[in-house]
Amino acid sequence: MSKNKYLSPKSVARFFVAPLALAVLAACGGGGSDDDDEEPVTVSVMTGTVAEGAYINGAKIDVTCKAGGSVESATTDANGAFSVTLSDDSERPCVIVATKPDGGKLRSVVPGGNPNPTHVNISTMTDLFVSYVVGQTHGVDSANVDITALIKQDGDLFTQVVNNSQALGNSKGNFESYLQTEYGVSVAGFDFLTSPIVLGQPTDNVLEALLDVQVDVTAPDGTVTQVPLIGANGLPNAVAVEELKADAPAITSSDIPACTATTCGGDAGEEIVITGGNS
């Protein structure tokens, strides 16, 4: 992975929110006037990291939530870090798409339920997981499924799984077992969706391991060939992804636990209060 210094989520938030605070103060008449103190402004911010075996610089980030989402797109820095401001009405679950400078896309999800994640990864691992859940809920023939549209639909199985922390936990457990059994890749001791990706740490090492995985693909005539799990473009190989989705155990509505106040839904992003006016 590129040897750039990692920025912590709090550092990223401070880096991006400071200009936002100046913009808010300017819109309110500035911070040096003789007017009374301005009312505090609360914004919701989501931070994260984009990586595929190296941090991805210049990726465009868009967040779509069950309600609300990005106020505008954000762009990753040299450490793959981003911070995006969300609309006031944003509610989880959410889908995040990172569009790389070459046009390739990686996807991730922000689950419903507690706790509310304040840091979210978008990586080859999270993209594979999204495909796995799509395979569970929509079957193998789901190449054209648009998860940014599904996340707005309460009745869709994909959305129900991502919204329910218990159901999503079950899918994550199955996915991690699959990676271990089929690819020999271990995901242990961290959450691949939310644990910050740090150089030389397990969150980074697992992405490096995915680059070495070869997948057996069986042709209609029975011929078996090997293809890389991650293609030369840094994205999951479409043929390998079809194998992944075919192996994903199907989910029906009866497999999804009933929602409670702590397992489903919730506000998206981390609320940050920006104060202005004279002290």
pTM: 0.83
For the chain, the three-class secondary structure string (H helix, E strand, C coil) is: CCCCCCCCHHHHHHHHHHHHHHHHHHHCCCCCCCCCCCCCEEEEEEEEEEECCCECCCCEEEEEEEECEECCCEECCCCCEEEEEECCCCEEEEEEEEECCCCCEEEEEECCCCCCCCEEEEEHHHHHHHHHHHHHHHCCCCCCCCHHHHCCCCCCHHHHHHHEHHHHHHHHHHHHHHHHHHHCCCCCCCCCCCCCCCCCCHHHHHHHHHCCCEEEEECCCCCEEEEECECCCCCECHHHHHHHHHHCCCCCHHHCCCCCCCCECCECCEEEEECCCCC
- Does the pLDDT of residue 169 top 70, yes or no? yes
- Does the pLDDT of residue 25 top 60, yes or no? no
What is the average pLDDT value for the chain, to the nearest integer?
85
What would the pLDDT profile of 207-243 be if each residue is shown by its tens digit? 999 999 999 888 889 899 999 999 999 999 998 998 8
Domain ranges of the chain: 9-274
Q: What would the mean pLDDT of 152-169 be, rounded to a whole number?
A: 95
